[in-house]
Amino acid sequence: MEFFNFHTHQFTNQSNILELVNQYPKEFDSSIPFYSIGIHPWYIKVDQIDLELKIIEEKLQTKNCLAIGECGLDKRIEVPMEQQIIVFEKQLALAEKYKKPVVIHCVAAFQEITAIKKKLKTSVPMIIHGFSKNKQLAEQLIKDGFYLSFGKYLLKNPDLKTVFQNIPNDRFFLETDTIEENIEQVYQIASRYKSITIKELQDIISSNYKNVFEVK
């Protein structure tokens, strides 16, 4: 693995990239080698939750399923927050049961996600994907035990440069999510912001990957 793409919706099947491809329970593609699977808050359907959780639990027991998610909370959608929290907590319980990291989608609900982590005493790694907020929030989330993953906004928002520069090297990942740019482009800007070589960055992310995904 030269590059690790922590979160993507597009499988590109390149031998030098390990891609953690986002999958949905009802649209599962068994040809994808490594994936995360979860109920995204946008797609919660009350009458489907139990069936989807059953599918997720089956997949979590396979070695190709590296994480649960993306799942989380989103205050900018019409799904009631109470319902989102129920679905999120059930997925965190599965993550804990099968010792899998969690890919988190969070929109305007960082306090709630932190409170749930504390309430449930979640011990598995929790990674906020697509981080785009300020230095204060980044520092608080890291203090509360979260990892942060950067991608789209690192490429598109220059204000994120100083935020990213201050993230401890053992607490971040890089991703492409749904953007057209490739993971190498994200690595390039990240190495520039951190003032390190691509090789040094690859070593950092490889180490984080081993720690979070318990790769021996």
What is the spatial distance between Cα 99 and Cα 76, in angstroms, rounded to a whole number?
A: 30
- Packing angle, helices 183-194 and 198-212, rounded to 10: 110
Placement of tokens 């359907």 in the chain: 45
Nearest to 4 by CA among 187, 200, 216, 193: 187
**Annotated binding residue 170:** no
* Chain CA centroid to CA 15, Å: 22
**DSSP 8-state class, residue 23:** E
**Annotated binding residue 7:** no
**Annotated binding residue 2:** no
What is the spatial distance between Cα 87 and Cα 157, in angstroms, rounded to a whole number?
A: 32
- Show contacts of 44-53: CB within 8 Å, 24+ apart: 44/79, 44/83, 44/84, 44/87, 46/83, 49/87, 49/90, 51/25, 52/25, 52/26, 53/90, 53/91, 53/94
**Annotated binding residue 70:** yes
Binding site as annotated, residues: 70, 105, 129, 177
Binding site as annotated, residues for a divalent metal cation: 70, 105, 129, 177
